[in-house]
Amino acid sequence: MTNKIDPCTLVLFGASGNLARVKLYPGLFRLDSLGRLPADLKIVGVGRQVVDLEAWRADIKSMLDAKFKKGYDQAVFERFIARNFYHANPPTDPDAFSKLKATLSDESVFPQNLAYFLSVRPVDFAPVVESLANVGLTQEDKYWRRVVIEKPFGTDLPSAKELQAAITKHLKESQIYRIDHYLGKSALQNILLQRFTNTVLEPIWNNQYIDHVQITNTEMLGVGDRTQFYDSTGALRDMLQSHILQTLALTAMEQPKDLSPEGVRDAKIKLLEEIRPIPVSELEKHAFRAQYAAGEINGEKVPGYLEELGNNDSVVETYAALKLFIDNPRWKGVPFYIRTAKRLHEADTRISIRFKKAPLQINDQDQNWLIIGIQPRECIKLEVQSKIPGLDVQTRTIQLDAANRWDSDDSVDAYEALLLNLMQGDNSNYLHISEAEAQWRLVDPVVKAWAEDKKPVHQYPAGSRDPEASKVIFEAEDQFWRYSIELGGDK
Ligand code: BG6
């Protein structure tokens, strides 16, 4: 399905920031190479510095050179670079937004459908929207106006509501595009399709057959140069509150009434609202946190989190695991374990589903696992029991393994897909406010309880597996963390 794109102008706030350099400009360039940008699309970079057009276009070239090391098509480059303009918005200039309006009002250059991408500090989201509105740049009459708000949408439920109140003074919900870049990943979009376009999966996708579900995101990377941001955020808010809960919603939701943006979002919202609140009085049975200590990654010694931060008092987690239950008939009694970590032994994002014990037990065999690999490998694997050929009656686990991505497939970055959706006016892969709120409602009590608990946080050596103590959240004695997607990853 390809949706038509109206002629439009994309206005990128924070145009010389890291996201724009690494994802947005290269992403737009790739879309141009694929012939997916409308002929008259224009891109206006907005930044604090005064830069002339020639220097700005040279800077964009340097972004592309850095991203596409093997080179790129010169004709596409010429076409792409001619789409680009720059507007300086120095924070000290009270007329900056009127000047932006004056620039954009030249209809001979800029199509009047306007999409603003706010790749700015979260504290600036509301002020930028307000300033755009004050000069009439958010008003929709003949043309559409859309605003992309980067993650995070608030830092807890009250601040998300405050931000929502501030921006909805000027924007309708249909104009707001809240990003969770995981929703732009093809592997995530595939969950919904794979679940509901296959007759064999849906009948077993419930508490009658499923013992528990694990949704895992682990990284080998540490916090790098983001220590300040990370220490005010932590793994729970950085990853679980957003990307992992969205993955869970897609894994567990009911079949949407249709694939329209409303259909998909309604089904996700319903699911997120059915997740049982985590009981703070029994937090240790439902939530576990830890911090990485010094250790080894790929044979190299790396420092611990507190050392990188230069502050031994921080209780901010780099590992977070939660046990969740979903209060609906499909999932009654099925624990969902979601976890994320920096500096673990493997970098992997996957959904691992363990099925209940089979009625026939030959040699106390393993239970079936169905694994959906999200990254780095996009695949679906099913582990089943099979007779070991020979004279004895014995079984072993074999794996049916299929790639969801073939080598010949286009590899599209999440931001490319989301930018295209934005221009198409398709917000199904963006968050609705009810989703953002339900996610905060769920994690806020844990964030608060953890912040107040100043006992030293559990440490795990960088490059290790999950801390042993994390197993405290398992509901049953025979449950354990599923590791790699390979056969034997359950050992
Ligand atoms: C970001 C988090 O939202 O997602 C980062 O802030 C994390 O801490 C990143 O590393 C992971 O994204 P991806 O696409 O590399 O899995």
Provide the b/e sequence for 223-252 (b: ≥16 CB within 10 Å).
beeebeebbebbbbbbbbbbbbbbbbbbbb
Give the pLDDT confidence of 16-44 residue by residue, as tens digits. Answer: 999 999 999 999 999 999 999 999 999 99
Q: Of 155, 154, 145, nearest to 177 (Cα)?
A: 145
Strands (E) across 131-238 are located at: 145-149, 176-178, 210-218
pLDDT of residue 366: 87
Give the pLDDT confidence of 231-284 residue by residue, as tens digits. Answer: 999 999 999 999 999 999 999 999 999 998 899 999 999 999 999 999 999 999
pLDDT of residue 485: 83
Tokens of 447: 């964030």
The whole-angstrom separation of Cα 349 and Cα 23 is 20
pLDDT of residue 249: 98
**Which residue minimizes the CA distance to atom 4 of ligand 1?**
239
**Sorting pLDDT into bands at 50, 70 and 90, what band is 410?**
confident
pLDDT of residue 127: 97
| The ligand 1 atom nearest the CA atom of 242 | 3
Q: How many CA atoms lie within 13 A of 359 on its CB side?
A: 2
Give the pLDDT confidence of 132-168 residue by residue, as tens digits. Answer: 999 999 999 999 999 999 999 999 999 999 999 999 9
Element spanning 54, H or E: helix 53-67
pLDDT of residue 491: 63
The pair phi, psi for residue 479, each rounded to 5°, is -95, 150
**Sorting pLDDT into bands at 50, 70 and 90, what band is 490?**
low
**Which residue minimizes the CA distance to atom 8 of ligand 1?**
238
Q: State the distance from the centre of ligand 1 to the C-alpha of 132, rounded, in angstroms.
A: 29
The pair phi, psi for residue 443, each rounded to 5°, is -90, -25
Q: Enumerate long-range contacts of 270-275, CB under 8 Å, 24 or more apart.
A: 271/326, 271/328, 272/245, 272/434, 272/435, 272/438, 272/439, 272/442, 273/434, 273/438, 274/326, 274/327, 274/328, 275/248, 275/324, 275/325, 275/326, 275/327, 275/438, 275/442
The active-site residue out of 170, 212, 243, 432 is 243
Residue 178: pLDDT over 60: yes
**What average pLDDT does range 299-308 have in this prediction?**
97
Alpha-carbon distances of 224 from 41, 63, 220, 345, 462, rounded to whole Å:
36, 21, 11, 17, 13
Residue 365: pLDDT over 80: yes
| The ligand 1 atom nearest the CA atom of 182 | 14
Please, what are the domains in the chain? 9-150 (3.40.50.720), 183-414+461-473 (3.30.360.10)
Active site residue 432: no
**Which residue minimizes the CA distance to atom 13 of ligand 1?**
182
Report the DSSP pairing between strands 114-118 and 145-149. parallel
**What average pLDDT does range 213-232 have in this prediction?**
96
Give the pLDDT confidence of 383-399 residue by residue, as tens digits. Answer: 999 999 999 999 999 99
Give the angle subtended at the CA of 343 by the CAs of 338 and 346, to the nearest 5°.
Answer: 70
- Asked if residue 361 lies in contact with residue 224, where contact means CB atoms within 8 angstroms, the answer is no
pTM assigned to the model:
0.96
pLDDT of residue 364: 83
Q: State the distance from the centre of ligand 1 to the C-alpha of 188, rounded, in angstroms.
A: 14
Average pLDDT, the chain: 96
- Asked if residue 284 lies in contact with residue 453, where contact means CB atoms within 8 angstroms, the answer is no
Write down the number of H helices and E strands in the chain. 16, 17
Residue 468: pLDDT over 90: yes
**Which residue minimizes the CA distance to atom 6 of ligand 1?**
238
pLDDT of residue 180: 97
pLDDT of residue 9: 98
Report residues whose beta carbon is within 6 angstroms of any ligand 1 atom. Answer: 151, 219, 238
**Sorting pLDDT into bands at 50, 70 and 90, what band is 340?**
very high
